[in-house]
Structure 1
Amino acid sequence: MIDEQKRAQLVEWVYEAGRLALSFRTALGVQSKADGSLVTAADRAVEAYLRPLLLELQPGVVWGEEQGFAGDEDEPLWLIDPIDGTSNFAFGQPLWGVSVGLRKGGKLVLGAVYLPELDEMYAAHLGGGATCNGGPLPMLDTSPTQPSDLIGYGDVDTYHAFRKVYPGKMRHNGAFVIEAMFMASGRLRAMTSSRACLYDAAGSFVILTELGAKYWTLDGQEFDPATSPVPGLMPPLIASAPGVFDLSRLGKILPNLSGA
């Protein structure tokens, strides 16, 4: 069972992980991974710091971006993105964060996301509501999108396809956790995601779900993030509160994607 005590302990550790990442600002140690993405000494240090602590809080297995996954995915599973938005971090931009989520019993049950340079700590556990810096967050707005509303997007193809179907101004922030927490805090009405793994998003999903968010694939099917492959990529998704989009029009997005 996840309780306030475990949530508070996770928040403390994720906060310390964020401060640890900031301490590498003058010694980034940037390298390129095989897939062309960047990794820094901070990414590796943060994940190494969190792994043993999380397994102390809830024994099980871990899937982290830098050290990977080994074990039985049916066990309680900690999901770590030590720095989501590594390119932003490496080039001195403030839009990045530390994300931790826990999947247990087939559900995402606990999550914390810290945005160190904005000093915003988001946390939630299943059935316990969501907070930012300890204060409760309101439920997401369920009214339909308007042309002036802001919507986060994950890649250029999705941007062009989405804007042909739905109203709203598209914004790209370079990190799943930024778009998700901007949605949680009301800065964005919705977001799209592509090429993300569950470790990128697990903490955010717990928080957004507590605020009333739902998730759909681009063919209009409702999606349960807890069923995401481990390891592997999630399908491209849209996240919003119910009522924000006319779901009958979702099927019009796919034909507008390049190569569809």
Structure 2
Amino acid sequence: MPNPSNWNAEFVYQTACKLAITALDEQQKLTTEIKPDHSIVTQADKLVESMAIEALSDKAKNISVIGEETIKELSEAELASAIKHDCYIIDPIDGTVPYASLTPLWGISIGFAKAGYISEGCIILPGTYEAIITKDGQSYYAKGAGKLPEFDELKPISSDLRDNCDHPSRVLVINQLTAKTKTITGLSRGVTTYYSIVFPYIYLALGRMAGIYASLNVWDAAAGMAILRNLGFYAGFSNGDSVSYKLSEDFDFSTYKKGQVRSKNVMVYAKDKAFSDDFVKCIN
């Protein structure tokens, strides 16, 4: 794995917290638009992403930002450079529907790829004062009391929590597309769906969910992929292949001008491959 030398965890965390404050402020004066794919975008999505680009990109160091709201503006050469060198991968507000509904099930996701290899991630949940981030090969988590935690309050997550994922109370998380188009049969545990992936990523990392089965865009997936990998979780596709963590291999960038960079197959996260295979065989 390439050395993530341009990932400064504390700086990224402080940046994410500033973005969260802006998003919360903007939530009180909400305006929404409908994108061509019928999804919702708010003024906050655009503002938060522009702030992230300003804070994180560095042309002198070949550090780019790939963001949900601005990727369509990149030229092919700019996108190729971002994938070749270092880039942050931003979802300014993951869960725009709950955000626009003034419910707390949304968050800010910042992933990082070193020379095209997904290596780091940070997720902030402003509505529940939770945060998770990678640093030095580990994943750290904390829940604040009435506010987001300070950076030094984040503590390493034990990989042993992964063993809790097979408890009968743990549910499988599917995304909205799966819920609308697939049939689930023979699964012995509960199933739930979210309008965001940030909550399932954090709660799977903490051993509070059984797994995730979802078709994801790269800005949905990047941060969580790095966070879960540090904890020993299996990440693969519904066709049985394992995730490579390489942007160009795991995601289809051919449709980026349409604002879509989907995983090349449905992504599956679980404590191990056997669990992943069990989930896949129940979804048709």
Could you state the TM-score of these two structures normalised by the residue count of structure 2? 0.80
Decide whether aligned partners of structure 1 residues 122 and 143 sit closer, same or farther in structure 2, where only a CA change above 3 A counts: closer
Counterpart position of 1:179: 200
Residue 141 of structure 1: SS of its match in structure 2?
A: helix
Is 2:140 aligned against 1:131? Answer: yes
The answer to whether the 8 Å contact 2:173/2:194 transfers is yes
The correspondence of residues 26-175 of structure 1 with structure 2, limited to 5 A, is 26-56=28-58, 59-68=62-71, 70=74, 71=78, 72=80, 73-125=83-135, 127-133=136-142, 134-139=154-159, 140-142=161-163, 145-155=166-176, 157=178, 163-175=184-196
Kindly, what percent of the aligned residue pairs are identical? 23
Q: Distance in 2 between matches of 1:143 and 1:86?
A: 30
Matching residue of 2:250: 228
Matched, 1:203 2:223: yes
Q: How many pairs does the alignment contain?
A: 252
* Greater mean deviation of Cα atoms: 208-217 or 52-61: 52-61
Which runs of no fewer than 5 residues in structure 1 stay unpaired?
none
Q: CA deviation at 1:218?
A: 1.3
Equivalent residue for 2:22, pick from 16, 20, 23: 20
Are the equivalent residues in 2 in contact too, given 1:220–1:250 (CA < 8 A)?
Answer: no
For 1:211, the aligned partner's letter is L
Q: Is the partner of 1:187 in helix, strand or coil?
A: coil
Cα deviation 1:149-175 (Å, max 9, x = unaligned): 212111364588574243221111210
- After superposition, the Cα gap between the structure-2 partners of 1:26 and 1:161, relative to the gap in structure 1 and judged at 3 Å, is closer
User: Residue 241 in 1 paired to residue 263 in 2?
Assistant: no
SS in 2 for 1:245: helix
- 1:129-164 CA-to-partner distances (Å, cap 9, x unmatched) read 001131111214247735432121113645885742
> Cα RMSD over matched residues?
2.5
Provide structure 2 residue ranges, at least 5 long, that are not aligned to the other structure: 143-153
Normalised by the length of structure 1, the TM-score is 0.87
Task: Give the conservation status (yes or no) of the 8 Å contact 1:152–1:192.
Answer: yes
Q: Provide the C-alpha distance between the structure 2 equivalents of 1:242 and 1:32, rounded to a whole number of angstroms.
A: 38
Work out whether residues 79 and 100 of structure 1, in 8 Å CA contact, stay in contact via their aligned partners in 2.
yes
Contact 1:142–1:242 under 8 Å retained in 2: no
Q: Deviations over 1:74-99 (max 9, x none)?
A: 12121100000001100111000000
